[in-house]
């Protein structure tokens, strides 16, 4: 099966960047841990550089901030959440409604 450039571009457009970032960070942490345990157990000598550990901690922090930022509740200027206004108006919650905001009029 040959993947064309358009297939690769479509794949990158379809995946969630937050999940990819978290996966890569966890993979780097796992590889560092396995390397440390294996090399330290067999030779007793290798310890990861502090710069690398700080980099991993920074990546984990950025992942957490990106995850929180994408899932933070959106508030309107009067302090109510957009979701509560949609529920109060009885408007079905769709992606378009959440992006553009509710029109707070009931359809009859």
pLDDT digits over 24-64, tens only?
999 999 998 888 888 887 887 778 889 989 999 999 999 88
- The H or E element containing residue 65 is helix 50-71
- Residue matched to tokens 């984990």: 60
Environment class of residue 83 by beta-carbon count within 10 Å: exposed (0-12), middle (13-18) or buried (19+)?
Answer: middle
Q: Tokens for 3?
A: 């993947």
User: What value does the mean pLDDT take over residues 70-87?
Assistant: 64
> Which pLDDT score, from 0 to 100, does residue 81 have?
65
pTM of this structure: 0.54
Average pLDDT in the chain: 76
- In this model, does residue 82 exceed pLDDT 80? no
User: What value does the mean pLDDT take over residues 86-106?
Assistant: 59
């Amino acid at each position: 099966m040959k993947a064309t450039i358009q297939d690769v571009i479509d794949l990158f457009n379809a995946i969630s960047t937050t999940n990819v970032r978290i996966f890569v960070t966890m993979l780097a942490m796992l590889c560092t841990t396995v390397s440390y345990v294996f090399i330290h157990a067999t030779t007793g000598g290798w310890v990861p550089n502090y710069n690398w550990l700080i980099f991993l901690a920074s990546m984990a922090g950025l992942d957490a901030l990106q995850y929180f930022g994408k899932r933070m509740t959106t508030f309107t200027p009067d302090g109510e959440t957009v979701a509560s206004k949609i529920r109060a108006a009885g408007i079905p919650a769709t992606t378009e409604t959440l992006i553009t905001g509710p029109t707070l009029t009931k359809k009859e």
